[in-house]
């Protein structure tokens, strides 16, 4: 097996290395430059955060509208292991720092699959306490449904982006951030909040409801 060098070595299957080599040299492929850069960032995250994770089998494809990235445990239909898919709309339309946040999120699934406690597949709890704790230590605040927000301060993730010249806007407190749970331009749901603030998305134009916690009327944010 080929190796990644770090404080500890993790096995990477040779086909993943061959796929990476193919992707970074396939200059007639529309995602050639993007995926080459994502491989560079995957290696950076692995090295600087000491994840010790294998080289992923990266892909850019259209995912369902509420998914920005996907990790497949086990082997995919081609027999490849460590598959990570980034949604193509997200990859080409979102701010790049957010795309890199999605990449790191998916790498943390690889980290848990390779080195951590296996998540329960019976209840699809892939964002369990261990995964969320590891993400939080790097500045990614992940909820049990997989939505990701970003710590604005003391964030190793934001620090490595700054180190390598990736621009990130000033971020509000985590509780004021809207998790990017849907693709740009695909959702007809509008965001409404109360004073707590509880956030809900509904399709009706005139949503009239009162929060049972704070008593405030929900108001639109879209």
Residue pLDDT, tens place only, 175-216 = 888 766 544 333 445 667 777 766 676 656 667 788 877 888
Lowest mean pLDDT among 51-65, 117-131, 149-163: 117-131
Task: Assess if residue 214 is contained within a domain.
Answer: yes
Lowest mean pLDDT among 91-105, 129-143, 167-181, 193-207: 193-207
Average confidence (pLDDT) over 119-138: 81
Instruction: Say whether both 22 and 131 belong to one domain.
Output: yes
Q: Phi then psi for 207, rounded to 5 degrees?
A: -90, 115
DSSP element (H, E) containing 140? strand 140-142
Rounded-to-integer distance, Cα 190 and Cα 181, Å:
13
Instruction: Say whether both 165 and 201 belong to one domain.
Output: no
DSSP element (H, E) containing 142? strand 140-142
Instruction: Say whether both 119 and 193 belong to one domain.
Output: no
Q: What is the pLDDT of residues 6-25, one digit of tens each?
A: 433 357 889 999 999 999 99
Task: Assess if residue 27 is contained within a domain.
Answer: yes
Which one, of 64, 154, 146, lies nearest residue 112 by Cα? Answer: 146
- Strands across the sheet containing 69-75: 57-61, 81-87, 69-75
Instruction: Say whether both 112 and 172 belong to one domain.
Output: yes
Instruction: Report the mean per-residue pLDDT for the chain.
Output: 84
Q: Is the dihedral of CA 17, 20, 63, 148 positive or negative?
A: positive
Instruction: Say whether both 117 and 157 belong to one domain.
Output: yes
Task: Assess if residue 163 is contained within a domain.
Answer: yes
pLDDT, position 193: 78
pLDDT, position 4: 42
Residues 6+ apart with CB under 8 A from 61: 85, 87, 88
Q: Phi then psi for 50, rounded to 5 degrees?
A: 55, 45
How many Å separate Cα 52 from the centre of its chain? 18
Instruction: Say whether both 148 and 42 belong to one domain.
Output: yes
Instruction: Say whether both 141 and 83 belong to one domain.
Output: yes
Instruction: Say whether both 121 and 161 belong to one domain.
Output: yes
Number of domains in the chain: 2
Task: Assess if residue 183 is contained within a domain.
Answer: no
Answer yes or no: is pLDDT of 68 > 90. yes
Residues 6+ apart with CB under 8 A from 210: 194, 216, 217, 218
Rounded-to-integer distance, Cα 153 and Cα 28, Å:
40
Average confidence (pLDDT) over 58-77: 91
pLDDT, position 203: 58
Task: Assess if residue 182 is contained within a domain.
Answer: no
Helices (H) and strands (E) in the chain, counts: 6, 10
**Overall pTM surpassing 0.95 (yes/no):** no
pLDDT, position 176: 87
Structure tokens at 34: 């993007």
Rounded-to-integer distance, Cα 206 and Cα 196, Å:
20
Range of the domain at 210: 188-222
Structure tokens at 103: 């990449």
Angle between helices 96-115 and 129-137 (to 10 degrees): 130
Residue 221 banded pLDDT, cuts 50, 70, 90: low
Task: Assess if residue 62 is contained within a domain.
Answer: yes
Instruction: Say whether both 62 and 107 belong to one domain.
Output: yes
Instruction: Say whether both 202 and 121 belong to one domain.
Output: no
């Amino acid at each position: 097996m080929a190796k990644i060098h770090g404080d500890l070595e993790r096995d990477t299957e040779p086909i993943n290395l061959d796929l990476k080599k193919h992707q970074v040299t396939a200059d007639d492929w529309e995602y050639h430059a993007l995926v080459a850069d994502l491989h560079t960032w995957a290696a950076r995250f692995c090295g600087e955060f000491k994840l010790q994770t294998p080289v992923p089998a990266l892909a850019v494809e259209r995912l369902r509208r509420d998914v920005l990235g996907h990790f497949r445990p086990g082997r995919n239909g081609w027999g490849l292991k460590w598959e990570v898919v980034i949604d193509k709309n997200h990859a080409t339309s979102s701010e790049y720092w957010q795309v890199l946040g999605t990449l790191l999120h998916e790498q943390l699934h690889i980290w848990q699959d390779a080195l951590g406690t296996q998540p329960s597949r019976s209840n699809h709890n892939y964002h369990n306490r261990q995964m969320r704790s590891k993400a939080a230590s790097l500045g990614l605040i992940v909820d049990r449904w997989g939505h990701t927000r970003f710590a604005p301060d003391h964030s190793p993730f934001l620090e490595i982006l700054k180190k390598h010249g990736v621009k990130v806007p000033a971020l509000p407190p985590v509780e004021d951030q809207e998790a990017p749970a849907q693709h740009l331009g695909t959702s007809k749901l509008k965001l409404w909040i109360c004073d707590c603030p509880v956030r809900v998305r509904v399709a009706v134009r005139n949503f009239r409801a009162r929060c049972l916690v704070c008593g405030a009327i929900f108001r639109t944010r879209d």
